[in-house]
């Protein structure tokens, strides 16, 4: 007989006349990892809010441990024993792991704290779960994985009945994610329950016991473990990607546009690879170690200890890299809406931001701007005239980021984790935007720590592990990653 930890029944939550959760039903048993695969992000925040606190709802009931804790009749505003782990850490950076796990939690009432006792208690936990984590380290010095583990330990120590994990694959590398999954399985077997919220069914299938597919705050289907296959998800999920047309190679050439030859940095160990002109290459960094170093080397913020980098068969030095765009190298950062846009500037000013820094720079005159408007208005539409870009939809903001790069006509574009934090509709849109760049003749390098949907636009996959080249897969071998990503 199963113990029901949580049951959400016919939940309807609306805010400002917008329905966030629509007849939402979900039940979670003890010792279970249930996946919540969100086709779009609508309703995600509302679920997490509702899980942790019994806030007023329009309709429905919430049972926690088989007890009615919230209903449409009365929202008592009480807290539930739920912990949430997400990309943005909730830990206090200037405190140690032990302090974060034991001291900074509800119900801790001691006035005199003996750090050695706490360390010993933590040691027992880490030993049991086979976790390699020093309790005395400051949280600010931890890696993303270690932060996630600390948060998990805090939730376990706190006695959380249910732990919600949201979109952590964006911050964890493939190797770290696998380790974190095995930790979740360990604690699941200890009687803890988890809600694993993510956008990729492949990721959920690896760790979950059941998977619920959600769209627009509504559960579409719940799949049991024996139903975990792409065919069952295809109608909701992959079907959207089927509409995307794959862009072929823009230039059929075997010439390498970028070559790393025995490059060593703090994290790279004799990294060697070649990016072929016109190809889209996914550079999968299994340990999340070299992505930042590659970006640093390409934009001139970092200098290699040894080895050579060649761009279009010419040495690419740190001096040249400092003017990367001038040499046809462009970057699309992770979470570009936050990192690449200027909210105070108009759409057009944002769009033209790099034209005077590109290879053939042009001074921004009225005539040039008019010509840009004429060229991009048919593609972008009326959004191009928007003065307050914050009024625009997310997809339009992504258009702005990608067309800004498109306008510079770069030879090679580095996209850093382009699919992080994007729901399925946005991911599909990003695929189309990358294809636009490809069509223009740009070589695309996707720097990723997990495959996600990168293979949907890739021609080649290069796997880097522990700072060194591990393997290279051409497109016809992508079937090996069928369970990891959507492949067009």
Partner 1 sequence: MLMKFKHIKYLSTRIFWLAGVLFAFILLLLIFASILAVQGYIDIVYVFIGYTLMGLLLFAYYKWIYEPYRENAKILRLFAAGYTIDALFDRHITLSPEMDEVIQKVQEIMETYEILNATKKQAHYLALQNQINPHFLYNTLEGIRGETLSAGLDNVAKMTEALATFFRYTISNVENLVTLEDELKNVNNYYIIQQYRFGERLSLSVEYDAQDEIEIMSCRVPKLILQPIVENAIYHGIEQKIGEGKVRIKIECTTKRLIITVSDNGVGMTEEKLQEINDKLRGMPLDYIKPENEKHGGIAITNVNSRIKLLFGEEYGICIYSTLNVGTDVELTLPKITERDQAFYEK
- With contacts defined by CB under 8 A, name the span among 19-27, 190-198, 416-424, 450-458 that binds partner 1: 19-27
Nearer to partner 1, 66 or 266 (CB): 66
CB of 241 to partner 1, least distance (A): 17
Nearer to partner 1, 3 or 53 (CB): 3
Pairing of strands 4-15, 18-29: antiparallel
Backbone phi and psi for residue 169, each to the nearest 5 degrees, phi listed first: -65, -15
Among 125, 186, 236, 469, interactor with partner 1 by CB under 8 A = 236
Dist. CA 282–CA 455, nearest whole Å: 7
Nearer to partner 1, 124 or 225 (CB): 225
Handedness of CA 257, 262, 263, 269 (dihedral sign): positive
Nearer to partner 1, 30 or 468 (CB): 30
Nearer to partner 1, 214 or 380 (CB): 214
CB of 447 to partner 1, least distance (A): 36
Among 55, 220, 373, 394, interactor with partner 1 by CB under 8 A = 220
CB of 430 to partner 1, least distance (A): 25
**Taking CB under 8 A as the rule, does residue 377 contact partner 1?**
no
Among 15, 45, 49, 73, interactor with partner 1 by CB under 8 A = 73
**Taking CB under 8 A as the rule, does residue 66 contact partner 1?**
yes
**Taking CB under 8 A as the rule, does residue 61 contact partner 1?**
yes
Nearer to partner 1, 236 or 425 (CB): 236
User: 322 Cβ partners below 8 Å, 6+ apart?
Assistant: 299, 300
Interface characters, 25-44, with partner 1 (x: CB under 8 A): x-x-x---------------
**Taking CB under 8 A as the rule, does residue 241 contact partner 1?**
no
Nearer to partner 1, 25 or 335 (CB): 25
Among 130, 224, 344, 477, interactor with partner 1 by CB under 8 A = 224
Backbone phi and psi for residue 288, each to the nearest 5 degrees, phi listed first: 55, 45
Nearer to partner 1, 222 or 325 (CB): 222
SS (H, E, C) 122-178: HHHHHHHHCCCCCCCCEHHHCCHHHHHHHHHHHHHHHCCCEEEEECHHHCCCHHHHH
Dist. CA 306–CA 263, nearest whole Å: 6
**Taking CB under 8 A as the rule, does residue 76 contact partner 1?**
no
**Taking CB under 8 A as the rule, does residue 425 contact partner 1?**
no
CB of 2 to partner 1, least distance (A): 5
**Taking CB under 8 A as the rule, does residue 229 contact partner 1?**
no
Dist. CA 222–CA 34, nearest whole Å: 10
SS (H, E, C) 11-44: EEEEECCEEEEEEEEEEEECCCEEEEEECCCCCH
CB of 42 to partner 1, least distance (A): 15
Q: Name the residue among 456, 450, 469 with its Cα closest to residue 430.
A: 456
**Taking CB under 8 A as the rule, does residue 69 contact partner 1?**
no
* Strand order, beta sheet including 256-264: 271-276, 256-264, 306-311, 314-315
**Taking CB under 8 A as the rule, does residue 475 contact partner 1?**
no
Length of the chain, in residues: 488
Among 103, 178, 222, 394, interactor with partner 1 by CB under 8 A = 222
Extract the runs of DSSP E, i.e. beta strands, from 180-255.
193-198, 210-215, 218-224
Q: Name the residue among 5, 107, 112 with its Cα closest to residue 51.
A: 5
Burial label, 421 (beta-carbon count in 10 A; 0-12, 13-18, 19+): middle
Which positions touch partner 1 (CB under 8 A)? 1-4, 7, 9-10, 23, 25, 27, 29, 59, 61, 66, 72-74, 219-222, 224, 232, 235-236
């Amino acid at each position: 007989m199963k113990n029901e930890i949580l049951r959400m029944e016919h939940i309807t939550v609306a805010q400002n006349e917008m329905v966030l959760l629509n007849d939402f039903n979900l039940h979670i048993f003890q010792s279970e990892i249930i996946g919540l695969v969100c086709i779009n992000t609508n309703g995600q925040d509302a679920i997490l809010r509702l899980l942790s606190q019994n806030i007023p709802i329009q309709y429905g009931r919430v049972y926690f441990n088989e007890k009615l804790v919230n209903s449409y009749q009365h929202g008592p505003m009480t807290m539930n024993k739920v912990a949430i782990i997400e990309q943005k850490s909730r830990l206090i950076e200037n405190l140690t792991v032990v302090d974060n796990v034991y001291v900074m939690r509800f119900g801790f009432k001691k006035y005199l704290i003996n750090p050695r006792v706490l360390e010993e208690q933590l040691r027992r936990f880490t030993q049991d779960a086979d976790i390699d984590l020093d309790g005395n380290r400051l949280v600010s010095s931890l890696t993303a994985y270690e932060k996630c583990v600390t948060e998990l330990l805090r939730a376990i120590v706190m006695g959380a009945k249910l732990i919600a994990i949201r979109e952590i694959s964006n911050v964890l590398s493939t190797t770290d994610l696998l380790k974190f999954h095995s930790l979740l399985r360990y604690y699941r077997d200890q009687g803890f329950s988890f809600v694993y919220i993510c956008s990729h069914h492949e990721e959920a299938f690896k760790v979950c016991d059941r998977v619920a597919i959600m769209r627009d705050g509504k559960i579409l289907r719940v799949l049991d473990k024996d139903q975990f296959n792409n065919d069952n998800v295809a109608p909701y999920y992959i079907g959207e990607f089927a509409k995307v047309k794959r862009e072929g190679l823009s230039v059929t050439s075997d010439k390498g546009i970028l070559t790393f030859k025995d490059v060593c940095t703090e994290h790279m160990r004799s990294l060697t690879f070649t990016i072929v002109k016109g190809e889209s290459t996914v550079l999968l960094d299994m340990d999340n170690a070299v992505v930042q170093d590659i970006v640093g080397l390409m934009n001139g913020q970092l200098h290699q200890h040894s080895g050579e980098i060649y761009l279009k068969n010419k040495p690419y030095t740190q001096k040249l890299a400092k003017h990367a765009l001038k040499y046809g190298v462009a970057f699309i950062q992770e979470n570009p809406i936050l990192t690449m846009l200027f909210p105070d500037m108009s759409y057009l000013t944002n769009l033209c931001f790099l034209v005077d820094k590109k290879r053939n720079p042009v001074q921004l005159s009225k005539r040039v701007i008019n010509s840009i408007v004429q060229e991009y208005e048919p593609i972008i539409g009326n959004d191009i005239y928007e003065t307050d870009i914050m009024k625009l939809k997310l997809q339009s903001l992504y258009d702005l980021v990608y067309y800004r790069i498109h306008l510079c006509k770069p030879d090679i574009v580095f996209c850093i984790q382009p699919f992080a934090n994007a729901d399925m509709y946005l991911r599909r849109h990003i695929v189309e935007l990358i294809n636009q760049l490809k069509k223009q003749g740009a070589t695309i390098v996707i720097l990723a720590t997990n495959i996600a949907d990168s293979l949907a636009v890739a021609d080649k996959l290069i796997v880097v592990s522990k700072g060194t080249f591990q393997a290279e897969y051409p497109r016809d071998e992508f079937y090996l990653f069928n369970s990891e990503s959507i492949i067009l």
